[in-house]
Structure formats: structure tokens, C-alpha cells
Structure 1
């Protein structure tokens, strides 16, 4: 028996066949005037030959599904975001499909998810810590899919609503707290290089030092990957310097807990010998010994707001602001102690 099912034609396939970029095909599809006539004709001919069908040319039946997509699902903060999204969407009669576009999978992982997304016909998608590059953006436009991004990896795209936190302000507050406890040699375990939130937290740390007249020392900054192991490695490197820091600010709670273990293995006690601050306020922060001082990032609330924004887009309602940042705040606990004058 012959299988008559037609393969899904992607915008990237059209772009490849036409010898143009994905954004160029997207501009043709959207009726933009900034495309050369010959190029437009070539693209339109291929669209017809390939039998390309735009989602939205007919009125789709709502699936009642929303995709919540992470780069990685092995982080505790993912659970907090899922909780906020799920509680909000359940109240609107929508179900959540949680999946991951793995960073190590590159473009192949993205294409695989897009194919599944098209087959599932989800009503919308929430992307977490995702770089909305030209290919992904164009494909989501082709699917006519409402999208909201939480904590964007790159510079926020004003065409897509984004939800974030005041990362810079939170980092300034943490640094000022340590400075206020008479610490002057403060190590910083930075987040994954290239992420928007990582840059903002590093900039906040530097701004806090600068405001207090403390010179920035690049030897005191070690990049991590937002996980326990990178925090342990960075903490070990900082604590074995010829002149180690008296306090360490880690750009995530998981990395801060890695610093805890690095300090233990160096024979140091927290906070007697080393003060430590994290970022996130995950449940583990209050369970640590001693409980971890940290910057609270409202992860569950970010998920809730992203879900509410997406529902407005699905209903065709206007979104008041394309970029919203929720406030962070310092949660003082027992991991910081004043340094003797």
C-alpha cells in the first residue's frame, strides 16, 4: 500500500533551493517590499513547486496544547518555571508539553523539534534561555505560532515578548552586600559565557565594585556553566590563588553550592573563613549548611507571566510591553559574615 503522506516542507528547504537566506524567504512570505523582483519570483515559484503551505491559511482547530521548551532540563530552576507555567495555563484549559532543544544537538535538534511542533499543531510556545536566531524565528513565523521567550539567551528580540529578571540590579545588590560586610577581595563565578543573563550579572558585579572604589581584578572572575560541578571547579581555582578571595559571589545557587564543597576540601569553613552568595533562591539554598545567602529570582512568577502573555497572543489580544523584567531581591542567610577590619 502506497504512503500518500506528504513530507513537511520547511522554509529552510525553500531557502536552500533558491540560494537565498531564510530571512529572505520569510520576507517574501510576509509580502515585504525589500526583496529584488527576480529573487521574489524565484522564491514564489519554488513555494508553488514544493507545495508549501502556510499555517494559518485556513482557520486551525485549537489543539489545547502549549510547548514549553528548554535548552536543558537538568536544572532545578526549570522545575520552578514549569510550576508557574502549568498552574497558569491549567486555569485557561490548556495543557503543557515540556521538551528540550539540546545545545549540543545544534541545528539538527532545533529542526527535529520544529518538525514535531508542526505535527502536533500546538497553539503557542514558551522558549526558555533560547537564542531566537534568524532560522528559528523564521520557522516559527512560518508556522504562525505565538511565542514568548523567558530569559532570552541573546539580545531580546522586540518582535517577540520576553520575560526576564533584573539580573544586573540583583548582582549589584549582592556585591554591595559583601562590600558592606568589609569584604574587598570578592571572587565571582560567572555564568555560561554568551548568555544575556550571564553578562548582566557580571556587569552588575563590576558596577558594584566600581561604585565602592574597589578595582576590578580579572583573576577573581572564573566562568562556570550554572551547574554544581563548574561551581566546584571555579571555587577550587579561586581558593588556591596566592591571594584567595575572602568572599565569593556565584551567579547561580548550584554554582554557589559547588563553591561550598570546594571550600570544604580546602579546609575552610563557611562563613568563618569564606562568605558565599548565590543567585536564584532555589529550595536547596535554604537547605544548605549553612543556609545560603542568595539573590531571589522570581522563577515561578516569570513562568506565570510568560503563560499569561502567551494566552493573550493566542487570543489575538495586544501585549502591553514586549520586554518585562521582574524584580530580584537579596535573601540574607547564614553564609555571609563580616570580615574583621
Structure 2
């Protein structure tokens, strides 16, 4: 199929389609819908955007969360080793700012492609870059745009959560709470799913009062004790869906008269290095940050040079610290 075939199916000129798929023309929504439908119907695939530059855009939700700052640093290191230079935009985790970040990156002349970390599944501007055949590697959270110009690198969040919860059960805990991430965020939903599955496999009910959802932030973690205190029966252990949430809980525990791990055990998720310096040292299921970065940059090179897209799911690994106590029996 050719651009002329797409143009005929959409009822527009060939030059209109050409400029539209390159992102050089803004058209009315109804016209865009007709062109998109014609592209899908004809199966036309434009070649990937060719660029002689080595500049790659990196979009991250925030830098306050050390998981993102550590990953951004490792991505920069791996990119440099491959002869690439990253320029970064911080999106603030909101749908509007994520779309703006994608738009601004796409407007940079000669940009070789984008490594994208978002918190929202849908991004209209990212979809527009896909139509322009810009190479994109999505890291961490999935997006709802699928194309042969997108590669995805993520981890087994379900398996990591299952592993964390199973470890708590193996230490004798059955009153286990889950301090989860935002609703609708793929990693948060997968980690909740792994938590529930591990409990179910051991015949333990997942109590609604023991499942609390909120931001991946230390402030959220510090505030959950009030809710847990109102359940009538405090859990003996907590699986926090993010290390930074666990940091907040450990920091605030003493103010609530709770000793970690004597009164409550905590296991985190992500493997942020800062957890090694806490007292007690945080037990966690770790994401392989270096391997994620290496895989993402390798996937970008494969997209750019060979037009090969891939989906990589990497395993998480249990790191035992001192924040989980073994119970002789549930009390």
C-alpha cells in the first residue's frame, strides 16, 4: 500500500496524508479520524523517522521518587555508552503534562526518538508521535498505544508482589496489609493482584480494611497508620507497593508507638538503594535498574537501526534486610 492509497481511502490529498503522518500538519478531528482509519484499513506503514542525530528524549514522571532518579541516571549512563545523548523532561505524572512533554519532545528538530516513562496509560501526543513513526521505548508503565514503532521494557510486577507476600507468609504472618499505588496505574494493579493471589494460595482472606491505595510517596506512607489503627486489629505485616511508601512508614512508625519490625513488619517494592541505609534496613523486592536501562537502550537501538520492536519483562528479586520479623505463631 502507498500513501496514495491511504489518501484515496480518506478522501484527502496525498500531500495531506504525508504531512499528517510526519506531524507537520494539524487537521480537524474528523479528518484525522478518517486518515487514521484509512491507515489502519490499508495497513500502510511509513518508514521510521530517520535521523542522523544521537539525541534521544527522556520523559520521566518525577525526580523526587528515587526510583525514577536512579533509573534516569542509569539510562543516561547506558545511553552514553551507546553513543547517545539524553535530554530530559519531567512530566509531573499528570495526563496533561505528560501530553505536553511528548509534544515538546516531538517538536525538537532531528530528535532520534524517545524513552518514555509515564503514569497514565493514554497520551494523545505520544500516539501522534507513533503515527509519525518516531522510535519510542516505553519503560515501567504500559501505554494503550500499540505499534511496531514501540518497544516496552517492564518488570514482572505481579510476580514480585507475589514473592513479597509469600515471604511474609513464610515468616508466620497472616494479618497482612497492602499499601498500594494509585488506582488504574498498571504497576499498582499488578502488585495488588500478586498480593491477592499469594494470600489466596495460602487460604488467607484479603481484607478490604487492609488494602489502602494512594500515591507512590513517603507522605502517603507516613499517613497510613491512622487508617490501620481504625481497623480494630492492626496487621502484623505490610507489603508496601513502593519503597518510598515504606520509607514514609518506617519514618513515622515511632510517632505512632509502633516498632519496626517488633510490632509490625514491612516489605517494600522497587529496591531503591536508600533502603539499605534505613534503620531497620528495608526488606524489598528489587527491580533490576541497571538491566532495565541496558535493555531499554538496546531496544531503542534495535528499533532505530533494524526496525525491530520487542516487549521485555524482567524478573524482580527478593532482598532480605531487617524490617521483617519471623513469628513463632500469629498473635
TM-score (norm 2): 0.84
CA distance in 1, matches of 2:190, 2:319: 19
Residues 1:329 and 2:317 aligned together: yes
Q: Do the aligned partners of 2:57 and 2:105 also contact (CA within 8 Å) in 1?
A: no
Gaps of 5+ in 1: 1-8, 35-54
Tell me: CA distance 1:245–1:235, structure 2 relative to 1, closer, same or farther (3 Å): same
Tell me: CA distance 1:334–1:107, structure 2 relative to 1, closer, same or farther (3 Å): closer
Q: Residue 114 of structure 2 aligns with which residue? A: 125
Q: Do the aligned partners of 1:227 and 1:254 also contact (CA within 8 Å) in 2?
A: yes
Q: Residue 146 of structure 1 aligns with which residue? A: 135
CA distance in 2, matches of 1:226, 1:108: 18
Q: Residue 42 of structure 2 aligns with which residue? A: 33
Shift in Å, 1:31: 7.4
Q: Do the aligned partners of 1:11 and 1:138 also contact (CA within 8 Å) in 2?
A: no
Q: Residue 232 of structure 2 aligns with which residue? A: 242
Tell me: CA distance 1:158–1:275, structure 2 relative to 1, closer, same or farther (3 Å): farther
1:216-270 deviation line (CA, Å, top 9, x unaligned): 1011000021110011122332144311101111001100111113321111111
Q: Do the aligned partners of 1:187 and 1:221 also contact (CA within 8 Å) in 2?
A: yes
CA distance in 1, matches of 2:90, 2:288: 22
1:81-124 deviation line (CA, Å, top 9, x unaligned): 223322222122110011123333x4465246414432333101
Q: Residue 28 of structure 2 aligns with which residue? A: 15
Q: Residue 314 of structure 1 aligns with which residue? A: 304
TM-score (norm 1): 0.81
Q: Residue 40 of structure 1 aligns with which residue? A: none
Q: Which moved more, 1:285-294 or 1:298-307?
A: 298-307
The match for 1:271 among 257, 261, 268 is 261
The number of aligned residues is 308
Q: Do the aligned partners of 1:127 and 1:149 also contact (CA within 8 Å) in 2?
A: yes
Q: Secondary structure at the match of 1:13?
A: coil
Q: Residue 214 of structure 1 aligns with which residue? A: 204
CA distance in 2, matches of 1:78, 1:103: 12
CA distance in 1, matches of 2:145, 2:240: 24
Shift in Å, 1:185: 0.5
CA distance in 2, matches of 1:24, 1:130: 29
Shift in Å, 1:27: 4.1
Q: Do the aligned partners of 2:89 and 2:101 also contact (CA within 8 Å) in 1?
A: no
Residues 1:195 and 2:167 aligned together: no
Tell me: CA distance 1:116–1:82, structure 2 relative to 1, closer, same or farther (3 Å): closer
CA distance in 1, matches of 2:23, 2:111: 17
CA RMSD of aligned residues (A): 2.8
CA distance in 1, matches of 2:105, 2:262: 53
Q: Residue 3 of structure 2 aligns with which residue? A: none
CA distance in 1, matches of 2:170, 2:124: 47
Shift in Å, 1:151: 1.4
CA distance in 1, matches of 2:70, 2:99: 24
Residues 1:232 and 2:241 aligned together: no
The match for 1:339 among 310, 317, 327 is 327
Q: Secondary structure at the match of 1:161?
A: strand
CA distance in 1, matches of 2:259, 2:23: 57
Tell me: CA distance 1:101–1:149, structure 2 relative to 1, closer, same or farther (3 Å): same
Q: Do the aligned partners of 2:121 and 2:143 also contact (CA within 8 Å) in 1?
A: yes
